[in-house]
Amino acid sequence: MFLNTVKILGVTVVSTPEAEVLERVVRFLAGPRLTTPLLIFTPNPEFLVEAQKDLSFKELLNKADINLPDGIGLVWASRFLGAPIKERISGAEVVRELLEIGNKGERWEVGIAGARREVREETNELVKRLRERYPQIEFVNLDCEDKKLKIKNLKLKIVFACQGMKKQEEWIWENKDKIKANVFMGIGGSLDFIAGFTKRAPRWIQEVGFEWLWRGLQRPSHFKRIRKAVFVFGWLVVREKLNAT
């Protein structure tokens, strides 16, 4: 699968438009399950800041087949560094698109791992809401107690890992050969938006690139993460630019 890419702070990120990326992923899903599944990660500026401190995490990110630029900061950084990304590709939006496609075609089995902090009641409610919204998809909670008995018999189209930064990528790497699936994708809290647990920013805020500010206003505890994603990331990008000149 060939996609245009750029490197930001040593991490390879796709610069191909979202529509083309989605087309390639759907084509992969439509085919037979290959020996090696497709791995999709969704790094944002916070991921890249963490990758500067944890080189094993940077190495893991670069093992992905596709790293989506899931943050407007990556787009701005790429332009500043002289290798512009076409557009931000929201992981949550790609997940929604994939579920809409899966709900219209053949019956997909979709695995979910690490959702809602693995709190059983909340995860069950999440799966219930997803089944109501996408009745043609069979959602499988991979965190259920009897998963060890069933996991070898599953033939999933896609597995969504929802544990959050680093944990989900590590989980995917550890389980990609244990679970039969065409695609593994780290998606953080994307399913929370889709299922209505979390309210996403209005479309116009997303389009102007201030969804990060919206999240901070919704949950002030996120401002610590925002500081890292805005100021620390910004400084690292400026430093990379200066070092390249």
**Residue 26 to residue 28: CA distance in whole angstroms:** 5
**Residue 183 to residue 171: CA distance in whole angstroms:** 14
Segments making up each domain of the chain, as ranges: 5-244
pLDDT score of 205 more than 70: no
Structure pTM? 0.90
pLDDT score of 148 more than 60: no
pLDDT, mean of residues 48-63: 97
Helix (H) or strand (E) holding 39: strand 38-41
User: pLDDT tens-digit profile of 152-179?
Assistant: 667 899 999 999 999 999 999 999 998 9
pLDDT score of 149 more than 80: no
What is the distance, to the nearest Å, from the Cα of residue 151 to the centroid of all Cα atoms in its chain?
A: 22
Average pLDDT over the chain reads 88
